[in-house]
Structure 1
């Protein structure tokens, strides 16, 4: 019998078979595992006492041997545009941020996959933080549940979309990210459609190919920001090991395996990547497979000297791509006043 909390394993790290084996080995009926699993992943229980269809004896057995390490909302801020940024406190006291982005046609949760980030993108506040550790699947799942509750409570609207675009590089936490997607999309979990989930990467070619091999059903977004190796390497050091040719081949492989179109995220910086020549390079990069381009306003951060492009250059850039037949969306910043917009997450209250 275990009594020290530090010696107990988080029960959410057990899969259904391991949970069933534990119950059988302790004189319980194996079918109880499905009931417990439902409490954990469908009803999002954070306490064994909540599991009211289990006997007190069974609940005591669980609490003697396991813990549940919940992610809790440490603080929240509400933007003038209705965006809600939350700091989520993890069991080891680390903090990550997640965002609820309300819109007329959707309610989107932006979640983090790592504490900090190791990729040092020059325009991103998270890139100036050290990477402390990966989040486990339950910690990502808990962010979704908490943000979903915020959507229901404040806007009386259910969550419609999830983007893995918060702190960290999701493909450097591959196993836990895919496990979290499984808990979020499974009928035994939250039951969301994988088509409503987008995982964003700075561009790790071998892991993009692995997504193809695993035939994932969720959407993939590539943070591109320049379709020119020299420029991209200036702002995204990862381009040195994953240049545009390598990424193009990986994306073609991914599309061949999944038949999922790719989204390209492109932040427009003033006098850096916002010329018609830059738009032409972007068009040439995107034309090789079905895709769309999200042109994103830049949200300046204190650590970097980049500025958002001018409105007339933004319009010319978008119009050029549209004339070339590119599916273009111009995304306006949300939550900028509370540092909740794209590239601003850095645990600042």
Structure 2
């Protein structure tokens, strides 16, 4: 028996063509499309303004492999972490981070990760597969529902900083953003979306060629190739010089914001010499911000976070050298929801 086609692979024109082919009215396509993207239906049975006969026909001909919430944990600081289950039984995680000014969703792009960054919990997992564009969209829709229910407000921002490397799932990530920003679905501004990469230089240039409208964050985490090689294997094929070139290319093409992410690891990358090297990189790239990130401990990984004094000395040096820097304090640490901790760990 042939595998059913995912109905969310159809655009509105495709649905209209289908309904015309079966002799039904074209407005049924509009109703179905609204259920899929505006009302976020996760089964054909939810499409209550379609007849039971039509719903059964859709079920016979199409699949609707929606993502569901498997478990949710609540942090003492208000952060929510949800474990999602895909139609084929894989688990991924996403987070809602509420603040006074914004509610941000952190979403995953792959099941596991292939990059094996030494300090990251997700990096210890194998990559099972890429998420499809609609699975990524489902995460955002479900986290948006949680945000409205728990905090009384919709998501204001989305960061692709969960499990996986977004630029190694390029087409699905871009298509998910296309859907999230479309006026006939979620309608979010692309300027409120940030895609984070460990530094895939070739694909950063591709983002420039595609003239994307969202922002870019780069997980740098070390300011020399020698140190970056030790903690991020990707640096062997995408070194700092290649990243500098790619980021300048991206900015020349798009003029979108670029953020450098730098997690402070005790005794590894937190000295004044490291700060001086980081300033040099900052000067070479049109970076609008460096996020200095507090490291979050991971069971079985030996890295430690820098102490408060070292963190302050490091960031003070950056400020003194006219670097726009922000210390990003971790949220959701008590439920393993903070940066680098997503690994489908049981409660």
TM-score by structure 2 length? 0.96
Say yes or no: does 1:223 pair with 2:219. Answer: yes
Return the alpha-carbon distance in structure 1 between the equivalents of residues 280 and 28 of structure 2: 56
Return the alpha-carbon distance in structure 2 between the equivalents of residues 213 and 39 of structure 1: 33
Question: Which position in structure 2 is the counterpart of 1:41?
Answer: 37
Give CA deviations for 1:202-228 in whole Å, capped at 9, x if unaligned. 000010001001111111000000110
Return the alpha-carbon distance in structure 2 between the equivalents of residues 172 and 136 of structure 1: 12
Question: Which position in structure 1 is the counterpart of 2:159?
Answer: 163
Question: Which position in structure 2 is the counterpart of 1:298?
Answer: 295
Out of 155, 168, 173, the position equivalent to 1:172 is 168
Out of 23, 27, 32, the position equivalent to 2:28 is 32
Out of 115, 133, 155, the position equivalent to 1:137 is 133
Runs of 4+ in structure 1 displaced over 4 angstroms?
A: none
Return the alpha-carbon distance in structure 2 between the equivalents of residues 340 and 259 of structure 1: 31
**Cα offset for 1:298?**
0.3
Give the secondary-structure state (helix, strand or coil) at the position aligned to 1:226.
coil
**Cα offset for 1:57?**
4.0
Give CA deviations for 1:138-191 in whole Å, capped at 9, x if unaligned. 111111111111111111122111110000000000010011111111101101
Q: Which moved more, 1:322-331 or 1:112-121?
A: 322-331
Q: Which moved more, 1:26-35 or 1:96-105?
A: 26-35
Say yes or no: does 1:266 pair with 2:281. Answer: no
Question: Which position in structure 2 is the counterpart of 1:187?
Answer: 183
Return the alpha-carbon distance in structure 2 between the equivalents of residues 65 and 272 of structure 1: 56
1:239-258 mapped onto 2 (5 Å cutoff): 239-258=235-254
Out of 334, 337, 344, the position equivalent to 2:334 is 337
**Cα offset for 1:261?**
2.2
Say yes or no: does 1:320 pair with 2:317. Answer: yes
Return the alpha-carbon distance in structure 1 between the equivalents of residues 9 and 128 of structure 2: 20
**Cα offset for 1:89?**
0.6
Give CA deviations for 1:92-141 in whole Å, capped at 9, x if unaligned. 00000111111111111111010000000000000000000000011111
Give the secondary-structure state (helix, strand or coil) at the position aligned to 2:73.
strand
Say yes or no: does 1:121 pair with 2:104. Answer: no
How many pairs does the alignment contain? 345
Return the alpha-carbon distance in structure 2 between the equivalents of residues 280 and 76 of structure 1: 42
Say yes or no: does 1:18 pair with 2:17. Answer: no
1:99-114 mapped onto 2 (5 Å cutoff): 99-114=95-110
**Cα offset for 1:36?**
1.7
CA contact (8 A) 2:260 2:287 kept: no
Return the alpha-carbon distance in structure 1 between the equivalents of residues 30 and 220 of structure 2: 42
Give CA deviations for 1:38-96 in whole Å, capped at 9, x if unaligned. 22111111222333343444333312211211111101111111111111011000000
Return the alpha-carbon distance in structure 2 between the equivalents of residues 85 and 261 of structure 1: 27
Say yes or no: does 1:307 pair with 2:304. Answer: yes
Question: Which position in structure 2 is the counterpart of 1:148?
Answer: 144
Q: Which moved more, 1:216-225 or 1:155-164?
A: 155-164
The alignment's C-alpha RMSD in Å is 1.4
Structure 1 segments unaligned to the other structure (5+ residues):
none
Give the secondary-structure state (helix, strand or coil) at the position aligned to 2:199.
coil
Return the alpha-carbon distance in structure 1 between the equivalents of residues 134 and 124 of structure 2: 26
Out of 66, 69, 73, the position equivalent to 1:73 is 69
Return the alpha-carbon distance in structure 2 between the equivalents of residues 291 and 134 of structure 1: 30
Structure 2 segments unaligned to the other structure (5+ residues):
none
